[in-house]
Amino acid sequence: MSAVAEERDARAPWALTAPALMLFVGVLLIPLAMTVMLSFHDWGQYKGIEPVFILKNWQEIATDPYYAEMFWRTFRIAILTTLLTAVLGAPEAYILNRMSGRWKSFFLLVILGPLLISVVARTLGWALLFGGNNGLVNKLLMSLGAIRSPIPFMFTETGMVVALAHVMMPFMVLSVWAALQRLDPQIENAAMSLGAGPVTIIRRIIMPQIMPGVLSGAIIVFSLSASAFATPAIIGGRRLKVAATLAYDEFLNTLNWPLGAAVATLLLVALVLIVVGSNALIERRYAEVFR
Amino acid sequence: MAFLELDRVAKQFGAQTVVDDFSLVVGKGEFISFLGPSGCGKTTTLQMIAGFLDPTRGAIRLEDKDLTAIHPAKRGLGIVFQSYALFPHMTAAENVAFGLEMRSVPRNERAERVRAALAMVGLAGYEDRHPRRMSGGQQQRVALARALVIKPSVLLLDEPLSNLDAKLREEMQIELRQIQRTIGTTTILVTHDQNEAMSLSDRIVVMSQGKIEQIGTPQETYEKPASAFVSQFLGKTNDFAGTIDRTATPARLVAGSWSAPAPAGLSGAVTVSIRPERIGFGDAGLGAKVVTRIFQGNHWLFQCDGECGPAIVIRQNDGQPQPTEGEAVHLTWRPEDMSVRARTVA
Ligand SMILES: Nc1ncnc2c1ncn2[C@@H]1O[C@H](COP(=O)(O)OP(=O)(O)O)[C@@H](O)[C@H]1O
Ligand SMILES: [Mg+2]
């Protein structure tokens, strides 16, 4: 092969990936870099944005306990949502996997169906059921005399966790489902023939093998929940802000873009660190199961 | 003496009968093979013994106790699965130890038995390996050690060697046989490989479409096949159409220009079944022409066109001159080497 041909071969992969690469740089890297830069700019009520390099926004976030509380709330909600989806979703996937043919496809559809409905519609559904005195469930329970005041749901963290868990459930179920597909179909019989009962089989044989699936589902659910906007915006509104709704308010209501950019950047960096870190941990811990 | 007994066992999936009228008596320490083509119900039968499937009809008894009434986890059988079904998150030693843990064997004894079991299958030093870091042959050995360490009353093997390459499979066959001889565990092996069944078993159960075709020693099933299916399935065979003439005295069995005194019992149209290595070339007998002659080192393989259809002949390469292609020959064999069955004339 001639040197020219070799050189062309070496360039070919770059040329072929160029369109996708340009799109990636154009719509992701450049706006991201601009957001990071924006977070170092100054802003005033009357002067607007000033393109200077100062640490004012970052200092404000670091010193004002309001931000610490808000970020802590964001991650607390994301963690609780993740736990709830894992605790409900893993058994759900396991039961689903044991069902026979027709029921299996039916219930898979039931689980995945919500993905076809907008998050806003699904969250509003919760608001209709539990929204204060007029919520359907609250009204029913009150008229039955079961409760005296409506169950607090709107503007509570519990409400946000429940609604988010509902939205995120399919991701957890699918992730555990994928792990279950990799199990040897005879593995439970093998354990049974060695004398293991049903509880032991689940605890010692099934759980350890689907753990990677639960954990990768957890990473997806956690990062989506921590950066979720629509559900916290509807359930929490202005009263109970999380990082995403706060950044939105800074951008569109206060018009303090630099501060909003700083909040968004911090959320992104924290998420990337958490996700990459836990992924590395999981892969090391479960190297034998993954391969 | 009956150790394990299957009494007219049947299994239906919906309307489909997968195993039917399966009766077998296994003696203690015996090595039995279920041999048959894929889909004939071997695994289903094995799983009924293991307890993963319930028989639709019939009884399974172990030492005269009804086995079907015992939960699979309590049957104490050792099972090696075709896919091995090792626990991928446990090391080889942990895999082998699992059954002992379930039996609450004390820690010290457990460690000692695990070590001994792994050593027996030639895996000393592999205790801390995970299954996915082992070759197919090594995984197979771990599966065998895991099944044997619990001292099972019966060892059930479902095509344990079918995922190994030919050379390794032969090695494992010899090893499996030696291990089984040493520890004397009653063993049932499921296979579709007639060589495997013949080289390993005391007796072979030949199955076809859920039914038993023949039960017998490897030699019996090979040399006295009870049906056309058995003779076809266990190696190459020649089937010649013949007739038994009871009007002649003494009665004679005739196939083309070959004839012999008729065996007792049958009369009319019969099929004469004869293994290729039992046919010789002679001065008189079934007329044939050699079509191809293939040299295969220790033997010659002849494909002939005979009076009663195509015939295969295998001759030892004993240095004697052999017929050449195109030569007219006569095929002869000793009457005791053939098996004769009634033939339904179409
Ligand atoms: N759970 C099942 N449901 C329906 N049919 C089955 C089931 N398991 C096996 N079969 C059918 O039973 C027949 C025998 O299967 P199997 O015992 O696995 O055969 P073998 O092990 O001899 O290859 C096959 O035709 C198979 O399709
Ligand atoms: Mg099978």
**pLDDT at site B345:** 66
pLDDT of A3 reads 57
CA-closest candidate to residue A242, choices A158, A160, A128, A169 = A160
Atom of ligand 1 nearest to the CA of B53: 1
Q: Per-residue pLDDT averaged across A205-213, rounded?
A: 94
A127 contacts A154 by C-beta, under 8 angstroms: yes
Name which of A60-64, B46-50, B282-286 the model is least confident about: B282-286
Span A270-282, average pLDDT: 92
Average pLDDT for residues B319-346, to the nearest whole number? 86
Tokens of B25: 């008596």
Site to probe by mutation for ligand 1, drawn from B9, B13, B79, B209 as the one with most ligand atoms within 8 Å of Cβ, is B13
Question: In sequence order, what are the residues at sequence separation of 6 or more whose Cβ sits closer than 8 angstroms to the Cβ of residue B46?
Answer: B34, B156, B158, B188, B190
Q: pLDDT over 70 for what percent of chain A?
A: 96
Domains, chain A, ranges and CATH?
64-120+152-290 (1.10.3720.10)
Q: Ligand 1 atom closest to Cα of B34?
A: 22
* Per-residue pLDDT, A45: 85
According to the model, what pLDDT value does residue A1 have? Answer: 47
pLDDT tens, position by position, A26-75? 999 999 999 999 999 999 888 888 888 999 999 999 999 999 999 999 99
Task: Supply the residue whose CA is at minimum distance from atom 3 of ligand 1.
Answer: B13
Percent of chain B with pLDDT over 90: 73
Most confident listed range (A11-25, B197-211, B307-321) = B197-211
Q: Is B33 helix (H, G, I), strand (E, B) or coil?
A: strand
CATH for the B4-232 domain, from 3.40.50.1100, 2.30.110.10, 1.20.1250.20, 3.40.50.300: 3.40.50.300
Q: Nearest CA of chain A to the CA of B50: how many Å? A: 7
Domain with CATH 3.40.50.300 in chain B: 4-232
For residue B146, the distance in angstroms to the closest alpha carbon of chain A comes to: 8
pLDDT band at A259 (very low <50, low <70, confident <90, very high): very high
B186 Cα–ligand 1 center, Å: 25
pLDDT value at position A4? 60
What CA–CA distances, in Å, run from A241 to A43, A74, A155, A187, B78? 22, 8, 9, 47, 60
Q: Tokens 């998150």, residue?
A: B89
Task: List the beta bridge partners of residue B300.
Answer: B295, B315
Confidence check: pLDDT of B214 > 70: yes
From the CA atom positions of chain A, what is the Rg in Å? 24
* pTM, 2 dp: 0.84
User: What pLDDT is attached to residue B263?
Assistant: 84
Q: What is the DSSP string of B134-157?
A: S-HHHHHHHHHHHHHTT--SEEEE
Label residue B153 exposed, middle or buried (CB < 10 Å: 0-12, 13-18, 19+). Answer: middle
A211 → chain B, closest CA residue: B89
Q: Which band of pLDDT confidence, cut at 50, 70 and 90, is reported for residue B107?
A: very high
Residue B128: name the closest of B109, B144, B140, B111 by CA. Answer: B111
Q: Could you read off the pLDDT of A221-249 as tens digits, one per residue? A: 999 999 999 999 999 888 899 999 999 99
B130/A contact by beta carbon, under 8 A: yes
Of residues A185, A191, A288, nearest to B89 (C-beta): A288
Task: Give residue B312's pLDDT.
Answer: 93
Q: What is the mean pLDDT of residues A253-261?
A: 92
| pLDDT on residue B279 | 93
Handedness of CA B330, B331, B334, B340 (dihedral sign): negative
Q: State the CB neighbour count (10 A cutoff) for residue A109.
A: 10
pLDDT of residue A29: 94
> What's the gap in Å between B38 CA and the centre of ligand 2?
7
- Please, what is the average pLDDT of chain A? 90
Ligand 1 probe mutation, B11, B35, B44, most atoms within 8 A of CB = B44
CB-CB contact of B307 with B257 (8 Å): yes
pLDDT at B343: 81
- C-alpha B60 – ligand 1 centre gap (Å): 19
User: What does the alpha-carbon distance between residue B280 and residue B314 come to, in Å, rounded to a whole number?
Assistant: 8
